């Protein structure tokens, strides 16, 4: 079967939805394709999995309940500059395409599900993971980046009696953040009883986790490796291999145009546009690209992309956190709560002209 659209958007994450909503609201014929049938605010996943009673299903919403253009659930298996083919046999011809297929966390699949593509399956997946965490006495979190720090803090908040170790390969948490952020995060986690071990690389060896450098071995009930993301761009390799860099990111210019093509664009976690791989940044990029396409259709000038001012707020549990704001670093509740309170769920849905689902 074949379909036709003016703008095809591949991936309904923060960037894809940002672009889809703005274009549709301005009368452009848009088709959004995602392998899932729901949007999810990933910022909330770690709290959802540790304490599902607080957020329930509210991070997730069916695309069909809020997307203004056409939504098709399906997985793109290949594309060129004229059409995209889905694994179910459908092919979609387009005038312009926006590649917004984002990233995955192979070491921590619960962060962005690789298998639960249905809304209720994902709710169940979160509940199942919660049960495993709840029944464990000892938990090892490997990786002291933003995801590992947040996860250790959320587990410690929800389960103060568990034995939690956070192991990191260097001698500071949150390597790319300011020193004050690194110090505050360490203080806050330590105050919650998290045992932070620096300069350790634990790997699984049977039932035990071993660090060859420190000669330590740890026996834990569960371990979560929070060590890095990969771009979801495999579907481009067959017909558009030249648009990928050596790490698999789509090469774009400062107008988000894919190098060598006039009608292909890419943004968010899967593109080379910005080193800041954040959902908020991706949503701004989506809205900016939509704006640029609308302007260029009217023959107006387009400004190149610049990283928007943004805050990086790292909760270290439900009652603490540290915010790296454009003006400095703070642990003041007012700023930390910008993310801490509902983990950005209401704000993101508001940006997309919607509201979170009622908690159930």
- Residue 283 Cβ vs ligand FAD, minimum distance, rounded to whole Å: 7
- Residue 324 Cβ vs ligand FAD, minimum distance, rounded to whole Å: 12
Which is nearer to ligand FAD, 153 or 218 (by Cβ)? 153
Neighbours of 299 (CB within 10 A): 6
Own/partner contacts of 182-191, CB < 8 Å, gap of 24 or more, are 184/322, 184/329, 184/331, 185/149, 185/314, 185/316, 185/322, 188/153, 188/316, 188/317, 188/320, 188/321, 188/322, 188/331, 189/149, 189/152, 189/153, 189/156, 189/316, 191/320
- Residue 229 Cβ vs ligand FAD, minimum distance, rounded to whole Å: 7
- Residue 301 Cβ vs ligand FAD, minimum distance, rounded to whole Å: 26
340 HSE (CA, 13 A, CB side): 21
- Residue 235 Cβ vs ligand FAD, minimum distance, rounded to whole Å: 4
Whether the Cβ atoms of residue 33 and residue 90 lie closer than 8 Å to each other: no
DSSP state letter for 169: S
Closest CA to 340 of 154, 125, 127: 154
Chain residues that interact with ligand FAD, rule: CB under 6 A: 10-16, 33-36, 42-43, 45-46, 75-76, 100-103, 105, 111-112, 147, 232, 235, 268-269, 277-280, 282, 339, 344
Which is nearer to ligand FAD, 15 or 144 (by Cβ)? 15
Which is nearer to ligand FAD, 88 or 170 (by Cβ)? 88
Which is nearer to ligand FAD, 216 or 308 (by Cβ)? 308
Which is nearer to ligand FAD, 76 or 158 (by Cβ)? 76
């Amino acid at each position: 079967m074949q379909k036709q659209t003016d703008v095809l958007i591949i991936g309904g994450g923060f960037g894809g939805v940002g672009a889809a909503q703005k274009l549709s609201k301005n009368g452009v014929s848009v088709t959004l394709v995602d392998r899932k049938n729901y949007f999810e605010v990933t910022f909330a996943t770690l709290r959802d999995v540790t304490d599902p009673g607080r957020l329930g299903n509210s991070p997730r919403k069916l695309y069909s309940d809020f997307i203004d253009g056409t939504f098709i659930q399906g997985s793109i298996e290949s594309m060129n500059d004229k059409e995209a083919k889905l694994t179910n046999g459908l092919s979609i011809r387009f005038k312009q395409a926006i590649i917004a297929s984002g990233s995955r966390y192979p070491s921590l699949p619960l962060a962005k599900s690789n298998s639960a593509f249905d809304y209720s399956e994902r709710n169940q997946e979160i509940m199942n993971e919660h049960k495993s965490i709840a029944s464990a006495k000892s938990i090892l979190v490997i990786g002291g980046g933003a995801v590992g720090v947040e996860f250790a803090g959320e587990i410690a908040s929800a389960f103060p009696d568990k034995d939690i170790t956070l192991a990191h390969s260097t001698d500071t948490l949150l390597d790319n953040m300011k020193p004050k952020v690194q110090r505050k995060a360490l203080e806050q986690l330590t105050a919650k009883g998290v045992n932070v071990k620096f300069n350790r690389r634990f790997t699984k060896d049977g039932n035990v986790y071993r660090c060859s450098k420190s000669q330590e071995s740890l026996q834990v009930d569960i371990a979560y490796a929070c060590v890095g993301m990969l771009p979801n761009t495999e579907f481009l390799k067959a017909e558009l291999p030249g648009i990928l860099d050596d790490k698999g990111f789509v090469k774009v210019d400062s107008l988000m145009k894919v190098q060598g093509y006039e009608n292909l664009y890419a943004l968010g976690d899967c593109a080379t546009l910005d080193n800041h791989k954040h959902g908020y940044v991706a949503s701004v990029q989506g809205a900016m690209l939509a704006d640029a396409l609308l302007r260029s259709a009217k023959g107006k000038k387009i400004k190149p992309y610049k990283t928007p001012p943004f805050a990086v707020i790292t909760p270290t549990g439900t009652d603490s956190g540290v915010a790296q704001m454009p003006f400095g670093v703070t642990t003041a509740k007012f700023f930390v709560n910008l993310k801490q309170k509902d983990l950005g769920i209401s704000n993101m849905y508001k940006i997309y002209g919607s509201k979170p689902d009622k908690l159930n």
